[in-house]
Amino acid sequence: MRVVLAGGGTAGHVEPALALADALRRINPDTQVLCLGTERGLEQRLVPMRGYELALIPAVPLPRKLTPQLLSVPGRLANAISTAAKHLERIQADVLVGFGGYVATPGYLAARSRRIPIVVHEANPLPGLANRLGARLTPHVFTGHPHTEIRNGRYIGIPLRTRISTLDRLAAGDRARAKLGLRPDLPTLLIFGGSQGAQVINQTAFECAEDFHQAGIQVLHVVGPKNADGPEDRTRGGVPYVVVPYVDEMELAYAAADVAMCRSGALTCAELTAVGLPGAFVPLAIGNGEQRLNAEPIVQAGGGIMVANSELSPQWIREQLIPLLLDTDRLVAMSEAASRLGRRDADMALAREVIAVANGDRSGVDMPIDYSEEPGDAR
């Protein structure tokens, strides 16, 4: 089977696509996978690192409003569609799976013009423009959020890497803390802001470093690759505060932590609930509030707390986050609540659907799961 994946730009598009690719290869190691991407997205690094072929097409951002840029869209889009179509023809694709982003629209339209079956996966509660278009071209539409409103949508969850979806935090905790330079006996806060870091979160956390030390709370702070040249040890009084640009094995960071203070992108929320890690969510205030919508069900179920980006402050950390980290019973309850919302098998579920569509059969089949070793991911 020959599969083309169209999902570039952010980790929220690229990582689920790669998790699906891994699942397809576990089912049938002979599956040929081609990923469409652009020169500006994270796929430039992530796709080759995971061992998959990357084919570049021109990026065509679609303006949300009537602007002079709109006049240039038809010509640039036609070029991108033509380029995508050549890649589809080159590998004789059996199916195209789109995850949104700049590459999805040309991919959908190229597949439609070549009568290649289309599968759409929308991770967010509010669908993007590309996937809203894709959902009009196929009945095979799946969502990562149970309340996403999109044509033909059916909830399936977000495909996750097996190192995340199979993680046993309790069993791996001590080993993870030792590897990351943390103590086994202290409450642990993981701080990260997505693949590039988050300046507001970083700065506020640094301002509270002394508060964490005084409370006996150790910190693993992933500041983002653009915000540090290398690891930095800010340990004081025997309480670790470890600063790193990124973490290659994010599952170790999850295993080491008791709480994660982070943004609330769809992928982050899916990973935290899958592993049962409580979140202190700081939604990025963009678009129509998608990140807030991602976190709300988790908070309402008792699996996390949330603060607006504009309201994140040292006072909030002192009054809300630090007391949470010191309350073992509450942490256990929140972990259980988060776990109840998580879905660990979305990669295999979506893979079965893709295979069924490629074969012209929506019924799917009962296929064995063979979890194999994978390289680490950068975060």
Tell me, yes or no, whether 172 and 140 share the same domain: no
Say if residues 266 and 153 touch (Cβ distance below 8 Å): no
Total number of domains in the chain: 2
Residue ranges of the annotated binding site are 10-12, 124, 161, 195, 291
- Tell me the per-residue pLDDT of 51-77, one tens digit each, with 9 for 90 and over: 999 999 987 766 555 455 545 567 778
In which band, very low, low, confident or very high, does the pLDDT at 102 lie, cut at 50, 70 and 90? confident
Instruction: Calculate what percentage of the chain has a pLDDT beyond 90.
Output: 75
Instruction: Average the pLDDT over 215-243 and give the result.
Output: 90
In which band, very low, low, confident or very high, does the pLDDT at 373 lie, cut at 50, 70 and 90? very low
Tell me, yes or no, whether 285 and 176 share the same domain: yes
The per-residue pLDDT for 195 is 56
CATH number at residue 310: 3.40.50.2000
Give the residue among 231, 210, 202 at the shortest CA–CA distance from 309.
Answer: 202
Residue ranges of the annotated binding site for UDP-N-acetyl-alpha-D-glucosamine are 10-12, 124, 161, 195, 291
Separation of alpha carbons 295 and 279, rounded Å: 9
Separation of alpha carbons 352 and 365, rounded Å: 7
Query: Would residue 377 count as lying in a domain?
Result: no
For the chain, counts of helices (H) and of strands (E): 16, 14
Tell me, yes or no, whether 184 and 43 share the same domain: no
Tell me, yes or no, whether 333 and 285 share the same domain: yes
The per-residue pLDDT for 372 is 42
pLDDT at 344 over 50: yes
The per-residue pLDDT for 40 is 79
Tell me, yes or no, whether 63 and 124 share the same domain: yes
- Tell me the per-residue pLDDT of 89-99, one tens digit each, with 9 for 90 and over: 999 999 999 99
- Tell me the per-residue pLDDT of 13-56, one tens digit each, with 9 for 90 and over: 899 999 999 999 999 999 999 999 988 778 888 899 899 999 99
Tell me, yes or no, whether 78 and 171 share the same domain: no
Separation of alpha carbons 314 and 203, rounded Å: 10
Separation of alpha carbons 135 and 42, rounded Å: 24
The per-residue pLDDT for 206 is 95
Query: Would residue 322 count as lying in a domain?
Result: yes
Tell me, yes or no, whether 255 and 224 share the same domain: yes
pLDDT, the chain, mean: 89
The per-residue pLDDT for 194 is 65
In which band, very low, low, confident or very high, does the pLDDT at 184 lie, cut at 50, 70 and 90? very high
Domain that holds residue 37: 2-160+344-359
pLDDT at 101 over 90: no
163 Cβ neighbours under 8 A, 6+ residues apart: 249, 250, 251, 374, 376, 377
Q: 0.75 exceeded by the pTM? A: yes
Instruction: Average the pLDDT over 283-307 and give the result.
Output: 91
The per-residue pLDDT for 58 is 87
Tell me, yes or no, whether 48 and 120 share the same domain: yes
Query: Would residue 374 count as lying in a domain?
Result: no
